[in-house]
Amino acid sequence: MSTLSTSPGIGNTGNTGSIGGTAGVAAPPVASPHEAVGRYLEHIGRGDEFAAIDLVLGLLEEGVDAERLLLDLVAPAQRRIGELWAANEWSVAREHGATAVSERAVAAIAARVRPEPTRGRLTVACTDGEYHALPTRLLAEVLRLRGWRVDFLGASVPGPHLITHLHQTGPDAVALGCALATRLPRAHATLTACQAVGVPVLAGGAGFGADGRYARLLGADAWAPTADVAADRLERGDLAGPPRPADAPAHFADEEYTHLTRRRAELLTRAMETLARAYPPMAAYDLHQVDATAADLGHLLDFLATALYVDDAPLFTGFIGWTGAVLAARGVPVEALTVGLRVFHDELRDFPRARHMLVQGIEAASLPGTDQET
């Protein structure tokens, strides 16, 4: 299907401010923000850690607020990294290197500006399986700047270990970051476990949906679209979520999600065999291309499973549109995507909801302009 895996990677963590931000008394914006972001992006794009750190520390010395540096400089640069990767202008290695430099720049800001805690204690973590930690790290640093004592646990925190930490530290709340929608089932388990031990959960990140619909569906106590909203709500103690339904949503009972996830390996094997027969260009693929194609099909299955979990076809069709654009940027025809979707449709004979979503996915992939959108 492709010569590169279409894993969203940093592309979907572009909403770096999704669970980090600004609130309270507004700090002054970074002077000449466009110019500053451009210079910063140039430094991190070269992997020049020292130049990036010198830039942010120099701005601090000039009086630029630390919170504004995090959210008006680092965050926009990360969004731009995602766009450059998706457009095939930057390699995976380059965007990973740039993100690593940004992590060092954030650490340098945190080391230079260290206010004493004046509020309560918070735990900030990425949900189990979520390895895009920088957006959530930005939130942790913003909350420290606001006077909270913050335990930042980093990427992919297993639910049971998070609960043990809550028992040991007794925080006022958990801020749970989820950048990729495919982590939603695990996020659901984690936030339910946190609430069971009496700790409210504020959800954030692109994985919960641009409007927070999945956070509400899964019962989070609050959702924040941006960092400033997150900080405001925590400062106000505004974590009283909507009343939760007495019963789980009806689609949880049909078990399509469970059966699909259990059969994932089998479905991938059969799909690769069928695709090799149905898509002649695969005959010329080298080992790397074959592995990348298997990864692409795996992402399709994972997004399909998550769409079943939350009963939301647009989650799946939106990913299909994004994938088509990423593949097109790499010179892969949309036919490769639609063939893969049809293979899964034919294999999932006993999955009516999944088959309906796959039909919608095929239609989304076939829309005029799919190949050109970015």
pLDDT digits (tens, 9 = 90+) for 123-175: 999 999 999 999 999 999 999 999 999 999 999 999 999 999 999 999 999 99
At a CB cut-off of 8 Å and minimum separation 6, what does 159 contact? 128, 186, 189, 190, 193
| DSSP SS3 for 202 | strand
Q: What is the pLDDT of residue 30?
A: 53
pLDDT digits (tens, 9 = 90+) for 12-25: 333 333 333 333 33
Q: What is the pLDDT of residue 22?
A: 34
pLDDT digits (tens, 9 = 90+) for 48-83: 999 999 999 999 999 999 999 999 999 999 999 999
Q: What is the pLDDT of residue 17?
A: 35
Q: Is the confidence at residue 340, as pLDDT, over 70?
A: yes
pLDDT band at 298 (very low <50, low <70, confident <90, very high): very high
Long-range contacts of 327-334 (CB under 8 A, 24+ apart): 327/1, 327/2, 327/6, 328/370, 328/371, 328/372, 329/86, 329/87, 329/88, 329/374, 330/2, 330/3, 330/4, 330/88, 331/3, 332/1, 332/2, 332/3, 333/371, 334/365, 334/366, 334/370, 334/371
| DSSP SS3 for 365 | helix
Q: What is the pLDDT of residue 27?
A: 43
- Strands (E) in 49-200, as ranges, are 121-126, 149-152, 173-177
Q: What is the pLDDT of residue 19?
A: 34
pLDDT digits (tens, 9 = 90+) for 72-81: 999 999 999 9
